Amino acid sequence: MSQQATRDHLVDLRRDLHKHPEPAWREFYTTARIVEELERIGVDELYVGPDAINTDERMAVPDDEELDSWFQQAKDAGANPETLDQLEGGYTGAVAVIEQGAGPTVGLRVDIDGLLRDESTDEDHAPVEEGFRSEHDGAMHACGHDAHATIGIGTIEKIKESDFEGTLKVFFQPGEEMIAGGKSMAESDHIEDVDYLLAAHIGLDHPTGEVVAGLDGFLAVSHFLAEFEGVPAHAGGRPNEGENAIQAMAAAVQNLYSIPRHEDGATRVNAGKVGGGTATNIIPEQAHVEGEVRGETTELKDYMKERADRVLQGAADMHGCEVTTTTNGEAPSAESDQGLVDIVGTIAGDTDGVENVVERDELGGSEDATYLMQAVQKQGGLAAYIGVGTDHPGGHHTATFDVDEASLPIGIDVLAGSIEHIAESRP
Ligand SMILES: [Zn+2]
């Protein structure tokens, strides 16, 4: 394909993925579409669905009914039925391998999932104007992961045509938004021989033409669901016979925010969603709270998690209830290694369309690429998280978010160039 034809093809792919946003473990259409592209390009090894992840480590997997409806939707949208068969049960994602001579193994991680939120219907929102607005009610690519998957495909294509010597592994990771998929990819066999790992994110308030060579400041995070079980009773006749689950839940919410700050750094806690009870005249037997804790480091997150567990248990005990706590998503913190940051910075400086290179910046949120980064760092390798600027009209996770498609080739050029240089110089 000519350069222009390749670019047009990538824009079409990004728009097709944008039309079909799918959240964690529901990326059926998305995975099938990625596999279709990988088969077109021709890769040396391709692992799909359950073969791409550690199937025991998925978090926040939806129930069968939810999975079935997204599966059916992907089928109706024309996803390849043979690929879909491999994904059944919510085993999504793919790992593609290119082998090009003797050299190190370089990994690239891109996430592929969408968010559970509606997309804008404004006439001047580009996806509406150009006819690629989300076709899935209540779901949207509001963080650019449609662009990330596209950049992953484009990078493979570019590396195949390059002088790269080594092995390239691209991890198309499901479930980042719910921090539910990173662990399952990091604990698969595929990570074990990776010497260098790059991950990338588009936007993050950096404009088109700006590249951040190394992002840090990932808050380690843990999502929890605490379910309280009490004893029901007639609220007027026998209130003394009940054990009130809502009181336990309310006491827990109040006291989660009373966990002391930590001398070692920043911590966060949030009770984001609560519910319970059935009627005003019944002592409620059930209540729940969904929340999260974060920390500047994994240790600080663990401290918050331990204290949060104590609060939840204490609140249950005080009101004679039982509590069951489940972790629904988790990610550690991580740092970008200087050896890779230097290479990415140099390559970005020489890339067409790049006007400004920022050496390092803080992400300030959470990301589960950190599981893969840490896995590679623990086995003696290097990892870095790169920011590829894009002009985005709305903020991340809002209804008017969109990416400037001019940043797709920039991202591909910076990543492919860096991968080639990393293999050559082996920092
Ligand atoms: Zn994102």
3-class DSSP state of 275: strand
Cα of 154 to ligand 1 centre, how many Å? 19
> How far is the centre of ligand 1, averaged over its atoms, from the C-alpha of 239 (Å)?
48
Distance 416 CA to ligand 1 centre (A): 21
| Domains of the chain as residue ranges with CATH | 3-218+334-425 (3.40.630.10), 220-331 (3.30.70.360)
* 158 Cα: distance to centroid of ligand 1 (angstroms): 24
Helices (DSSP H) in 257-391: which residue ranges?
298-318, 338-349, 369-378
Q: What is the pLDDT of residue 3?
A: 83
| pTM (two decimals) | 0.93
CA of 424 to the centre of ligand 1 (A): 30
Q: Which residues of 39-74 are buried (b: 16+ CB within 10 A; e: fewer)?
A: eeeebeebbbbbbbbbeebbbbbbeeeebeebbebb
Which residues in 174-283 belong to E strands, given as ranges? 196-202, 210-216, 220-229, 267-276
Q: Please give the pLDDT value at position 364.
A: 76
DSSP-derived secondary structure letter, 241: G
Distance 170 CA to ligand 1 centre (A): 17
C-alpha of residue 191 to centroid of ligand 1, in Å: 21
Q: What's the gap in Å between 367 CA and the centre of ligand 1?
A: 8
pLDDT of residue 275: 98
* Cα 331 to averaged position of ligand 1 atoms, centre (Å): 14
Using CA atoms, how far apart are residues 18 and 256, in angstroms rounded to an integer? 38
CA of 167 from ligand 1 middle (Å) equals 26
* CA–centroid distance, residue 323 to ligand 1 (Å): 32
Strand ranges of the sheet holding 322-331, from the earlier edge strand across to the other edge? 267-276, 286-295, 220-229, 322-331
For 135: left if phi > 0, alpha if psi spans -120 to 50, otherwise beta; the answer is alpha
Looking at residue 42, its pLDDT comes to 97
Q: What tokens does 74 get?
A: 């992907």
**Residue 383 is encoded by which pair of tokens?**
């990892």
Distance 394 CA to ligand 1 centre (A): 14
Cα-to-centroid distance, 14 and ligand 1 (Å): 15
Ligand 1 centre and the CA of 363: distance in Å? 11
Q: What is the mean pLDDT of each run of 10 residues along the chain (427 residues)?
A: 88 98 98 98 98 96 97 97 98 98 97 97 96 97 98 98 97 96 97 98 96 95 97 97 98 98 96 97 98 95 98 98 95 96 98 97 90 97 98 95 97 98 97
- Cα of 201 to ligand 1 centre, how many Å? 7
Using CA atoms, how far residue 293 sits from 91, 222, 316, in Å, is 27, 6, 19
How many angstroms separate the alpha carbon of residue 144 from the centre of ligand 1? Answer: 6
Gap from CA of 76 to ligand 1 centroid (Å): 27
Query: What is the spatial order of strands in the sheet that 382-388 belongs to?
Result: 45-48, 94-100, 166-173, 105-111, 196-202, 382-388, 210-216, 356-362
Query: Ligand 1 center to residue 290 CA distance, Å?
Result: 21
Give CA–CA dist 148/415, Å, rounded: 11
Q: How close is the Cα of 202 to the center of ligand 1, in Å?
A: 8
Q: What pLDDT shows up at residue 365?
A: 84
Ligand 1 midpoint to CA 332 (Å): 16
Distances (CA, A) of 180 to 159, 199, 252, 312, 371: 29, 17, 25, 23, 11
Please tell me the predicted confidence (pLDDT) of residue 363: 85
Distance 260 CA to ligand 1 centre (A): 30
Q: How far apart are the CA of 247 and the centre of ligand 1, in A?
A: 36
7 alpha carbon to ligand 1 midpoint, in Å?
23
